[in-house]
Amino acid sequence: MRVGIIGATGLVGRTTLSLLEERGFPVSELTLFASERSAGERIRFRDTEVEVTTVTENWDLLADVFFCSVSDEVTRPILEGYKGDAWIIDKSKVFRMDPSVPLVVPEVNGNILKSTSSKIIANPNCTTIPFVMVVDAVCKVARPERIVATALQSASGAGKDALAELRLQREYLAVGQEVPDDAKEVFGRVLASNLIPRIGSFDKTGESTEERKLRAESRKILDDAELAIYAACTRVPVEVGHSLSATFIFSEEVNLRKIEKSLTSYPGITYRSGDDYVTPAQTEGADDVYCSRLRHAPEDRTVLHLWITTDNLRKGAALNAVQIAESLG
Ligand SMILES: NC(=O)c1ccc[n+]([C@@H]2O[C@H](COP(=O)([O-])OP(=O)(O)OC[C@H]3O[C@@H](n4cnc5c(N)ncnc54)[C@H](OP(=O)(O)O)[C@@H]3O)[C@@H](O)[C@H]2O)c1
């Protein structure tokens, strides 16, 4: 299959390349696009080097499937009005809520790929993917009335410039210097040794775009428009690995063992019990969504708490997209 990556030099683009290689994806030809800044760079893939170019006219004729991993602003002019024959698996938010475009986590709703007429397939947000897998596993036992989720999202979730900014901020702090404004351009604040309870922009109710995405995307993937999801998203000074602390509130008592069994048997989830909880650093480079710290609320068996961690660049982004491509056949 001829494969193209738009945004090949970014964190998600580079992770996609590694995964195509690791998983033995049948790549017959590879086309790599990035901005003018990277044009001419050569990237190794298997035993060859491929030159990066800017997005050319008729770019879509160069591959059968494209992984598009660029910002919303860059995605729009490239993909809006797309009528080509190549499959596009898009990581931006541009098409996620478009009713004519499937929003896919293969383990949850991959079956819709068989019947879609859309050539664009949207890849969900990096927090939504692990969250919906766990919610789906829980819902196979009992549907919660409400879910309260606090997402703790790593710096790499905002791209390579964000990761570089976190590292730069750390260097200033390590030598006892104040972080200057030009080292706060991506996050707007100091993230190193700190937390930032804002990802995206706030609407008039005070909810952030990231919080809205988690709710809206989860409802679309789970095909459950009424599911009550209350989210709070915070940026944390972790390099790679998103975490979620989630509370599920049910209308009646829920059996912990049944939930544990459902999580254990769910494809792509690794369940760990007791003291074997999983931290974000442990997920870096791993494919699975990790679920641990499952417990009832004290004195209330209608409430469950659990902890989710995932490599945001792999299952949260690139791996999910490669799995979609694998199921396109
Ligand atoms: N990071 C995550 O965990 C994650 C998870 C899910 C979804 N996403 C989404 O995936 C997309 C990519 O994220 P990322 O983290 O990989 O970002 P990133 O590290 O900042 O990389 C951005 C990529 O876009 C390229 N680019 C910029 N302007 C371009 C242009 N005019 N034409 C072609 N390419 C251009 C960059 O090329 P240069 O190197 O030449 O600048 C780079 O390859 C975003 O939409 C993001 O929201 C990210």
Is 137 found in the same domain as 116? no
Instruction: Determine the distance separating the centroid of ligand 1 and the alpha carbon of 7, expressed in angstroms.
Output: 5
Over 70: is that where the pLDDT of 7 sits?
A: yes
Over 90: is that where the pLDDT of 82 sits?
A: yes
Residue 243 domain-assigned (yes or no): yes
Over 70: is that where the pLDDT of 100 sits?
A: yes
Residue 181 domain-assigned (yes or no): no
Query: What is the band of 58 on the pLDDT scale with cuts at 50, 70, 90?
Result: very high
Q: Is-catalytic flag, 242?
A: yes
Is 266 found in the same domain as 238? yes
Is 64 found in the same domain as 102? yes
Ligand 1 lined by 70 (C-beta under 6 Å)? yes
**Cβ atoms 188, 271 nearer than 8 A:** no
Atom of ligand 1 nearest to the CA of 7: 43
pLDDT recorded at residue 194: 98
Ligand 1 lined by 312 (C-beta under 6 Å)? yes
Residue 167 domain-assigned (yes or no): no
**Cβ atoms 65, 86 nearer than 8 A:** yes
Instruction: Determine the distance separating the centroid of ligand 1 and the alpha carbon of 35, expressed in angstroms.
Output: 10
Is 107 found in the same domain as 145? no
Instruction: Determine the distance separating the centroid of ligand 1 and the alpha carbon of 256, expressed in angstroms.
Output: 40
Atom of ligand 1 nearest to the CA of 162: 20
- Indicate which CATH number applies to the domain containing 31: 3.40.50.720
Q: Which protein residue's CA is at the shortest distance from atom 29 of ligand 1? A: 35
Q: Which protein residue's CA is at the shortest distance from atom 44 of ligand 1? A: 71
pLDDT recorded at residue 219: 98
Find the radius of gyration of the CA atoms of the chain. 20
pLDDT recorded at residue 146: 98
Average pLDDT over residues 130-154: 98
Atom of ligand 1 nearest to the CA of 312: 3
CA–CA gap between residue 87 and residue 18 (Å, rounded): 20
Ligand 1 lined by 33 (C-beta under 6 Å)? yes
pLDDT recorded at residue 24: 97
Ligand 1 lined by 157 (C-beta under 6 Å)? yes
CA–CA gap between residue 320 and residue 268 (Å, rounded): 10
- Nearest alpha carbon to residue 83 among 102, 58, 104, 54: 58
Is 104 found in the same domain as 71? yes
pLDDT recorded at residue 50: 97
Residue 162 domain-assigned (yes or no): no
Ligand 1 lined by 13 (C-beta under 6 Å)? yes
Instruction: Determine the distance separating the centroid of ligand 1 and the alpha carbon of 136, expressed in angstroms.
Output: 29
- Indicate which CATH number applies to the domain containing 279: 3.30.360.10
Is 261 found in the same domain as 112? no
C-alpha 196, offset from chain centre: 19
CA–CA gap between residue 308 and residue 245 (Å, rounded): 6
- Nearest alpha carbon to residue 194 among 156, 230, 152: 152
Q: What is the pLDDT of residues 227-238, one digit of tens each?
A: 999 999 999 999
Instruction: Determine the distance separating the centroid of ligand 1 and the alpha carbon of 74, expressed in angstroms.
Output: 9
The 3-state DSSP class for residue 143 equals: coil
Is 285 found in the same domain as 204? yes
Residue 161 domain-assigned (yes or no): no
Greatest extent of the chain over all pairs of C-alpha atoms, in Å: 63
Residue 187 domain-assigned (yes or no): no
Is 9 found in the same domain as 66? yes
CA–CA gap between residue 225 and residue 282 (Å, rounded): 34
The 3-state DSSP class for residue 164 equals: helix
The 3 state secondary structure assigned to 239-294 is: CCCEEEEEEEECCCCCCHHHHHHHHHHCCCEEECCCCCCCCHHHHCCCCCEEEEEE
Instruction: Determine the distance separating the centroid of ligand 1 and the alpha carbon of 300, expressed in angstroms.
Output: 44
Residues of the chain with pLDDT > 70, as a percent, come to 100
Is 80 found in the same domain as 53? yes
pLDDT recorded at residue 329: 63
Q: Which protein residue's CA is at the shortest distance from atom 28 of ligand 1? A: 35
Residue 163 domain-assigned (yes or no): no
Q: One of 68, 233, 242, 291 is an active-site residue; which one?
A: 242
Substitution candidate for ligand 1 out of 6, 12, 163 with most atoms within 8 A of CB: 12
pLDDT recorded at residue 95: 98
Atom of ligand 1 nearest to the CA of 161: 20
Is 243 found in the same domain as 208? yes
Return the residue matching tokens 């068989």. Answer: 114
Q: Is the pTM of this model over 0.95?
A: yes
Instruction: Determine the distance separating the centroid of ligand 1 and the alpha carbon of 244, expressed in angstroms.
Output: 23
Over 90: is that where the pLDDT of 283 sits?
A: yes
Over 80: is that where the pLDDT of 63 sits?
A: yes
Give the domain range for residue 13: 2-123+318-328
**Number of folded domains in the chain?**
2
Average pLDDT over residues 287-309: 98
Ligand 1 lined by 38 (C-beta under 6 Å)? yes
The dihedral region occupied by 264, where left means phi > 0, alpha psi between -120 and 50, and beta the remainder, is alpha
Q: What is the pLDDT of residues 206-257, one digit of tens each?
A: 999 999 999 999 999 999 999 999 999 999 999 999 999 999 999 999 999 9
pLDDT recorded at residue 279: 98
CA–CA gap between residue 165 and residue 24 (Å, rounded): 34
CA–CA gap between residue 157 and residue 125 (Å, rounded): 9
CA dist 167 to 156, 163, 172, 251, 312, Å? 11, 6, 9, 45, 18
Average pLDDT over residues 57-84: 96
Is 323 found in the same domain as 272? no
Is 249 found in the same domain as 134? yes
Residue 190 domain-assigned (yes or no): no
Ligand 1 lined by 241 (C-beta under 6 Å)? no
